[in-house]
Amino acid sequence: MSPVMNLMMFALGTCISSVISKQFVFINEAKTFSEAQIYCRWFHCDLASIEDAADFSLLQAAVRGITDPGAWIGLKKDWVGWRWSLSDSAFYKEGEAEYRRWKVGQPDNAAGIENCGVVDDVGEFWDYPCFTQNPFICYDGNETVLQRYVFVDQKMNWSDAQTFCRQKHTDLVSIRNQDENQQVRDLVPLGTLVFIGLFKDYFRWSDNSWSSFRSWSVGEPDDSGACVEQRLSDINTWADQNCDESRPFICQDGEKMQILRVNLKSVQNVNDPVMKVSIMKQIQQKLVNLGMPKDAKLQWRVQSDGEIFHPLENDMNSQKITC
């Protein structure tokens, strides 16, 4: 029996581009959210999703001068779970975005209002009300800085702390592993709860991207509905609205990707360059047979040690090799 190897790859579909070439298109036709979603997926890529401030600037430019009250974007209420404020997927290795070190009994959502994360002086996470005033820790990803983690001894609510970190540094701190947990813990004063970038998200983008970027109007979301509009009278804000209402909408053209995991068995060195080319061709042909466009681009996802394949640790046969 040969060892079972783990293959990870990206399959980039027909909507292929870099973030730089991402475009937003205003559609001046009144449709419900579901109708707008179908339209965008048919004629473009999807309803608009916003990855970061640069995307938001492009969105604002696409609707500048338009006088309609509001237009659908691709954000809709759908319980997601706990996630980090810094949403760049390239920042996290596999499993790091899910790192949590909850204190025993946490999260407990006391009184139903604890939607943000804090860390204590022993490095354990608590869920905590977002409106409370706490010090916080920023992360600075600038290559020129010497201090990656910055303790800010000013008391702010979570949203204001997030804005501060994004303006002065990169974002509220993400804690991706035990080593980073220790580094952050060393900054927390004794007996203090400090805001980190962890928050409870109730909204999901139509294209299933996981950006945490939000630009809510004051008092929003207010449970007026499950879908989100870009307010065109105030292009800097969003509001939740009833999904069955009809309004214009904003589509996006740009990057769209899928991640495939495939288990394969081989007695040969599957990390050999020739083998990787052969495997890629076979996978591409199978995907084409299943309906993927022939000009779709495939690329390997390189893991942290530079390899593509690793033996599956949970496979009982992975340690057995026979001729």
pLDDT digits (tens, 9 = 90+) for 263-277: 667 767 777 777 777
Look at the chain and report how many structural domains it folds into: 3
- Per DSSP, 86 falls in state -
Band (pLDDT 50/70/90 cuts) for residue 315 is very low
Identify whether residues 190 and 91 lie together within a single domain. Answer: yes
Say if residue 191 is in the same domain as residue 221: no
pTM, 2 dp: 0.58
Domain that holds residue 148: 86-202
Within a domain: 316 = no
- Residue 81 resides in a domain: no
> Is a pLDDT exceeding 60 seen at residue 11?
no
Distance CA 199, CA 201 (A): 6
* 107 assigned to some structural domain: yes
Asked if 264 contacts 276 with a C-beta cutoff of 8 angstroms, the reply is no
Residue with token string 């979301």: 221
Asked if residue 97 and residue 28 are part of one domain, the reply reads no
Q: Does pLDDT of 36 surpass 90?
A: yes
| CATH classification at residue 32 | 3.10.100.10
Q: 240: closest CA among 259, 231, 256, 227?
A: 227
The model's pLDDT over 94-130, given as tens digits with 9 standing for 90+, comes to 899 999 999 999 999 887 789 899 999 999 999 999 9
pLDDT band at residue 199 under the 50/70/90 scheme: very high
Nearest Cα neighbor of 228 from 209, 211, 247, 210 is: 247
With 0-12 CB in 10 A as exposed, 13-18 as middle and 19+ as buried, what is 218? exposed
- Smallest CA-to-CA distance from 231 within 212, 220, 223, 254 is with 220
Same domain flag for 97 and 181: yes
